[in-house]
Amino acid sequence: MSIEIRQVSKYYGQQAALKDVSFGVKRGEVVGFLGPNGAGKSTMMKIITCYIPPSEGEVKVAGLDHFNDSLKLRRKVGYLPENNPLYPEMYIREYLRFVAGIYGIPKAKQRVEEIIETVGLELESHKQIGALSKGYRQRVGLAQALIHDPEVLVLDEPTSGLDPNQLEDIRALIKRIGKEKTVLLSTHIMQEVEAICNRAIIIKRGQIVADSPVSELKSARGKIVFHLQVDKPLSLSKLEKIEGVLKVVETQKCRYKITSGKAIGPDLTAFVAREACTIEELRREEMTLEDVFKSLTQ
């Protein structure tokens, strides 16, 4: 495990920002940490990166304990904080050498050149940070997070405020970096998770409400809607009695919209056959991740 979070709670005075949160991230996974504003994403990330301590619970990163091995732990984590705080008056190389110095990286000059190449900053590398576009500032932020070659990368809303082109570039870059590192990335954009992540953790008011592979999130959560068209009318009350069915609406003659709590495709087929009808169409409505997110966080 690259990240192990056990029963972590965090209180700001009376307010609980995280309540009994547990999850693990395996080496090499790219996990999306999703939730509406104020859900506790940044708080969790600050705890993982040792910026703040949890009020309760255990945190381990790269096998190192948050309390006992805090300094070693920080060497294993790269962190791009929310809003990417940078020094606008510094030049890119000057800033990255400064960060390399903090980490005590040997051959810092060479490493800075390598990282400039990794994040695609070559053409802008002579500029002052304040003169860069937001997309390029984000690359500088990623460069500082990666310079010490950490095992784990924690990115807090890395694409917020970018225009569509910059967004695509930064997502592609994160995807590329994600092949070699464990990444935990927060966002409130569902498409981002589909584009970059293997797994999604959804958090709401400080508690985890979903944790599953992105591919399963759509089907595992919430309701499934089927559209069924047959050659002869079916009895609505009989359809409603099929196990798992929550609601049936006859949308047109011999067309039914069936909402269920689980996958009932085979049961529907069998039912129609028992009623001596023929299926003309049976289709499962794709739930978007947005729907899942809404149903879980509202």
Binding residues for Mg ion, rule: CB under 5 A, are 41-42, 82
- Distance (Å, whole) CA 285 – CA 40: 32
Closest to Mg ion by CB, 20 vs 82, is: 82
> Which of ligand ADP, Mg ion, none is residue 159 near (CB under 5 to 8 Å by kind)?
none
Tokens of 219: 């089907």
Shortest gap between Cβ of 159 and ligand ADP (angstroms)? 15
Nearest to 63 by CA among 112, 27, 10: 27
Shortest gap between Cβ of 192 and ligand ADP (angstroms)? 15
How many CB atoms within 10 Å of residue 246? 13
What one-character DSSP code corresponds to residue 262? S
Shortest gap between Cβ of 129 and Mg ion (angstroms)? 22
> Which of ligand ADP, Mg ion, none is residue 252 near (CB under 5 to 8 Å by kind)?
none
Shortest gap between Cβ of 156 and ligand ADP (angstroms)? 7
- Distance (Å, whole) CA 133 – CA 197: 26
Q: Which residue has the tokens 């070559």?
A: 122
Closest to ligand ADP by CB, 120 vs 206, is: 206
Closest to ligand ADP by CB, 9 vs 219, is: 9
- Distance (Å, whole) CA 207 – CA 3: 17
Closest to ligand ADP by CB, 41 vs 66, is: 41
> Which of Mg ion, ligand ADP, none is residue 40 near (CB under 5 to 8 Å by kind)?
ligand ADP
Shortest gap between Cβ of 1 and Mg ion (angstroms)? 24
**DSSP of 14-43, one letter per residue?**
TEEEEEEEEEEE-TT-EEEEE--TTSSHHH
> Binding residues for ligand ADP, per CB under 6 A?
12, 15, 17, 35, 37-43
The H or E element that residue 285 is part of is strand 279-285
Nearest to 154 by CA among 45, 61, 51: 45
Shortest gap between Cβ of 133 and ligand ADP (angstroms)? 25
Closest to Mg ion by CB, 42 vs 49, is: 42
**DSSP of 77-89, one letter per residue?**
EEEE-TT----TT
Closest to ligand ADP by CB, 39 vs 289, is: 39
> Which of Mg ion, ligand ADP, none is residue 135 near (CB under 5 to 8 Å by kind)?
none
- Distance (Å, whole) CA 171 – CA 177: 10
> Which of Mg ion, ligand ADP, none is residue 35 near (CB under 5 to 8 Å by kind)?
ligand ADP
